[in-house]
Structure 1
Amino acid sequence: MAARVELFEAIRTDRRREQLSVRALAERHQVHRRTVRQALESAVPPARKSYSRSRPAIGPWAEIIDVWLEGDESVPRKQRHTARRIWQRLGAEHDACLSEVTVSRYVQAWRREHGKVGVEVVVPQTHEPGAEAEVDFGEFYAVIAGVSTKCHLFVLRLSASGKAVRVAFTSQGQEAFLEGHVRAFTELGGVPGRIRYDNLKAAVARVLEGRAREETERFIALRSHFGFSSFFCRPGLAGSHEKGGVEGEIGRFRRRHLVPIPEVDSLTELNDLIAAADRLDDSRHLPGRQFDIGTEFAYERTVLTPLPLDVFETGLILHPRVDRHSRINVRSCRYSVPARLVGRRVRVLLRASEVIVFDGRTEVTRHCRSTVKDSQTLVLDHYLEVLAIKPGALPGATALAQARRCGVFTAEHEAFWSATRSAHGDAAGTRELIDVLLLHRHMRHGDVVAGLAAAVSVGATSSDVVAVEARRHASRLGSVISDRPVQWPPTDPGRRRVVSLTERRLTDPEAVIAGLPPDTRPLPSVAGYDELLTRRANRDPQPPEIPVTGRTVS
């Protein structure tokens, strides 16, 4: 095109300077006289005419392709033909010898001709600080405790500054949706005026005509508590651009910070990694912004609505019944409760990451919420009263296997159990172990383990010995076992030895053995009782006689 413009310029210049004819100009510039006339008429060359070309390669198959593309109007969007799939079908079903790019160009032209390729016009928006935010969930995978787990990333993004808060959950339930809001508001230090949503089931019970929605009760309570208004986008792809900021942010964050797949020990550790990534993103500059996200948010934070003083409970209340295995079923997962509650209904507070069980108003246990369907989470302590009656059930108990895996049932427990069974038999030895396990309800785990190690080291097989040594270990560390700290005498630790309470009573009462304090009380005396006997002997043995009807009564 540039060459033709230069040619037209040369023709017009020669005409002005030398007043040459059309024929002379054509001979000088070696062009047709028609081109000279076009140059004299306009300095801009006319557009080239487009001629319809024959399509010998795609022509025989054009009708078949048209039928397939027209049939796509009645099938789901995600299962429609692509240009590559059409090319593959032509080769497999009709032995067509075509290049893929030939088919791709034809499909693109067909869709453009039929209005299937279009761009919706979007009006640029200006967001005032603190006025609006967007919320959505995104999916990603993480390896948690060695298991590949599907996670859901809750994202709340402020529209003005671009500041986003992200929280990972293992479910997309309403409790996760509500807890994500609370944690995001707490992190931001305030609440935006309005929040945009798509039609999540956690917030929308039913989609009505237009923008009208029937909202869930818990979502209405959340909105009322924090004082923000809600805006719901149009369903499907038609409304995806209405909260495009958070839609694009989820994909960017996933590619930037969750590749490769993170490997963590717990969901808490995963959220710590995500929080660190959030702080790193504060240094990003959004397109068209003068300052980074952190600087923009520093101002926007000052205009957010302050947080309410009272706390909003995000958990859901359930009332399952305890089965004969002392378990409750919550969202297809089973959790143990104390055996005394078997057959009764309990109140459960189900949060996004934990399960809290109440008997009336008293909390009886809490579990980390399981991420595996049909799993069971059992605590050995819940079965101790039953195992004291049925000691033979302990070796194969599922709760014991889980306690071993998580490190609660240690090697010291195993060694003590083995020693007690050798000394007292399986049943009696297991009961001694159960007595030791009961100590965990009132003493720290480390103190009991230290008591077990001390008892095993001297061959003691009594739970009383473990209790004494655990108490002594706790006192050395300054921990409080009862209402008052226990003070032991400062004796040489190397000369101490473990003895039973019976042996302690048979020894010198002033000796300090096994770390017990000396008995400094005086010996018992009966002098007071002897004094009473003396007073009784000095009293008059015969009372005065009283006459009654001619008889005397002493």
Structure 2
Amino acid sequence: MYTVEVYLQVRRAHFDEGRSQRSIARDFGLARGTVRKMCAYPVPPGYQRVQDIRRPKLDGFTDKIDQWLLEDLDRPKKQRHTVKRIHERLREEEGFTGGYTTVKDYVRAHRRVSREMFIPLSHPPGHGQADFGEAVAVIGGVEQKLHFFAFDLPHSDACYIRAYPAATSEAWMDGHVHAFAFFGAVPLSVVYDNDSCLVAKIEADGRRRRTQMFTEMLSHYLFDDRYGRPGKGNDKGNVEGLVGWSRRNMMVPLPEFPDIESFNVWLEEQCRKRQSAILHGHTETIDERLQRDLAAMRSLPSAPYEACAKATGRVSSQSLVRYKTNDYSVPSTYGFRDVTIRAFVDVVEIGCGGAIIARHPRCYEREQMVFNPVHYFALLERKPGALDQAAPLANWEMPEELQTLRRLMEARQARQGRREFVQVLRLLESFELPVLCAAVRVALQKRAIAFDAIKHLALCQVERRPARLDLSLYPYLPRAEVSTTKPSSYMALLSEGAV
């Protein structure tokens, strides 16, 4: 290819000096066709290879290649056909005798044609997008994977992030409740992917059949739900970008917090700080653009949605109720009764007859038993022999005062002393553990080792009145006098028995 300088000299000789192309070709040592092209173009047009699309050896195999590439769309990205693998399969399974380059050129052209094109979108104020992401954090000294709810307002780029142990239906709903409370308003619509926590089924006509909990939440806040195409995250690209941005900026290095709640407080502070930023392509801060979002959004309802899953169950013979593979204890007096279950993100509540009879921290493991020892004290009072082997008490760290009280009661009355100790434990049904421990300490100091005395001390502590354990304060009570036993008394008994 000749340089632009050669083009300049040839074109000046022809157009300025009026020389013929034949003489120019002779003097410059060029072919007349080259001179003709230089006269036609002011700059070198460049060499363009005419692609030969004839592939006689591949023509009978293109349908099979197209089929494999189409099937790959439903496969994980890391398990799709490479060109090398396509070439190997064609040779092994189809008897192909052509070369690798022929297959490579066809696959490259196929993929270029099939690549998706996108339309730039505008985002009017008042609409949102929601999604879940994953990240690793250190919570309570333990490194664990967390799921975080991400909510984005595309017009202003304002966001809300909240972490959860799992991306359950309750977490989805709870994330909405906290996000709406954070902004102080409800968006007109929210775009989602087709998560199973939200969409039970996609109908043939494209309509979504929502899950019951999601429908309840929509009815409470009255915003419209919109969905992206299955597998097309770019349909809600703003929140997809927010998930990645949050992971890179809020969770690097690994965040360390004593519990998830304190982590979420910190995340909320970061979302609020971000509102003072001016993003690329904008002249206003996020907060300034957020005001237009808020003006278009609807007001919050008078009360937030109660984000919990509801179920029913029956108490087993071991005073347990099962919810999602885990068993939660209830008071043994409710054995074999039907109960209602409300599972929140962090708490499981069990009710019977309109009253809440048990409340436990939510367990996200599988096949676990979650006990409250207090639920079994009434049953232990009838079966005190099971005290040492009771599974609900196996992991309960009994305070030292109660351990001392048990030793003294059993030393004095053996089995009856153990039963009376369980009666003391049953006071936890009415009093907090610190109150009971304080009462037991006073009883040990006064050597009033009895259930009635400890109950009296606990009541006095709660009611903030002085205890009255001195019998001199009750002159009307009869006093018991116990005389010293003499050997002659036993001899009298023996003589009477002989008669």
TM range (shorter): 0.7 to 0.9
Partner of 2:114, secondary structure, is coil
Between Structure 1 and Structure 2, how many residues are aligned? Answer: 469
CA separation of 1:232/1:378 partners in 2, compared to 1, >3 Å: closer, same or farther? same
Q: Kindly indicate whether the alpha-carbon contact (under 8 Å) linking 2:149 and 2:162 is maintained by their aligned counterparts in 1.
A: yes
Out of 216-225 and 383-392, give the one that drifted further: 216-225
Query: Equivalent residue of 1:120, what SS?
Result: coil
| CA distance in structure 1 between the partners assigned to 2:313 and 2:369 by the alignment | 15
Cα distance in 2 for partners of 1:46, 1:445 equals 90
> Partner of 1:439 in structure 2?
427
Question: How much does 1:283 deviate?
Answer: 4.3
Q: Distance in 2 between matches of 1:29 and 1:433?
A: 118
Aligned ranges for residues 432-511 of structure 1 at < 5 Å?
432-453=420-441, 461-463=449-451, 474=461, 481-482=462-463, 485-486=464-465, 501=469, 504-505=470-471, 509=472
Q: Find the aligned partners of 2:417 and 2:31 in 1 and give their Cα distance.
A: 115
- The answer on 1:201 being equivalent to 2:196 is yes
Task: Tell me: CA distance 1:305–1:71, structure 2 relative to 1, closer, same or farther (3 Å).
Answer: closer
In the alignment, which residue of structure 2 is the partner of 1:223?
218
Partner of 2:484: none
> CA 1:106–1:293 in 2, change beyond 3 Å: closer, same or farther?
farther
**Percent identity of the aligned residues?**
28
The one-letter code sitting in structure 1 at the alignment partner of 2:465 is V
Q: 2:107 aligns with which of 98, 106, 111?
A: 111
SS of the aligned residue for 2:392 comes to: helix
Q: Distance in 1 between matches of 2:283 and 2:193?
A: 30
Q: 2:313 — aligned with what?
A: 320
The equivalent position to 2:235 in structure 1, one of 215, 232, 242, is: 242
Deviations 1:292-349 (A, max 9, x none): 3333224422332001114433323322100011110011111000010011111222
User: TM-score normalized by structure 1?
Assistant: 0.71
Query: What do the CA deviations read for 1:152-188 (whole angstroms, capped 9, x no partner)?
Result: 3333322211222233333444333332222221222
Alpha-carbon spacing, 1:398–1:259, altered in 2? closer, same or farther (3 Å):
farther
Distance (whole Å) between structure 2 residues aligned to residue 64 and residue 286 of structure 1: 51
Question: Partner of 1:182 in structure 2?
Answer: 177
After TM superposition, list the pairs within 5 Å mapping 1:90-239 onto structure 2. 109-114=105-110, 117-130=113-126, 132-142=127-137, 144=139, 151-234=146-229, 236-237=230-231, 239=232
Task: Measure, in 2, the Cα distance between the counterparts of 1:373 and 1:108.
Answer: 48
For residue 40 of structure 2, what is the amino acid of its counterpart?
A: E
Partners of 1:242 and 1:179 lie apart in 2 by 24
1:340 aligns with 2:333: yes
Structure 1: gaps of 5 or more residues: 54-58, 94-101, 475-480, 489-499, 510-518, 525-554
> What SS does the corresponding residue of 1:335 show, helix, strand or coil?
strand
User: Cα distance, 1:371 vs. partner?
Assistant: 0.7
Q: 1:219-257, CA deviations, whole angstroms, 9 ceiling, x for partnerless residues?
A: 3332232121222333x23x4332222223223323333
Q: What displacement does 1:19 show?
A: 5.0
Structure whose CA Rg is larger: 1
The question of whether the paired residues in 2 share the 8 Å contact of 1:211 and 1:233 is answered with no
Secondary structure of the residue aligned to 1:318 is: strand
Q: 1:71 aligned to 50, 68, 71, which one? A: 68
d(CA) in 1 for partners of 2:465 and 2:21?
A: 120
Say what the alpha-carbon RMSD is for the aligned residues. Answer: 4.1
Mapped to 2, the partners of 1:271 and 1:335 lie a distance apart of 27
Deviates more, 1:137-146 or 1:180-189: 137-146
What corresponds to 1:536 in structure 2? none
Q: Is the contact made by 2:177 and 2:304 (CA closer than 8 Å) also made in structure 1?
A: no
- Structure-2 separation of matches of 1:61 and 1:41: 40
Indicate yes or no: 2:344 matched with 1:351. yes
- Which one-letter code corresponds to 1:199 in the other structure? N
| Residue 381 of structure 1 pairs with residue 374 of structure 2 | yes
Q: Which consecutive residues of structure 2, in runs of 5 or more, have no partner in the other structure?
A: 94-98, 477-499
Distance change >3 Å, CA 69–CA 397, structure 1 → 2: farther
Deviation at 1:66, TM superposition (A): 9.3
Q: Distance in 1 between matches of 2:103 and 2:442?
A: 81
More relative contact order in 1 or in 2 (CA 8 Å, sep 6+)? 2
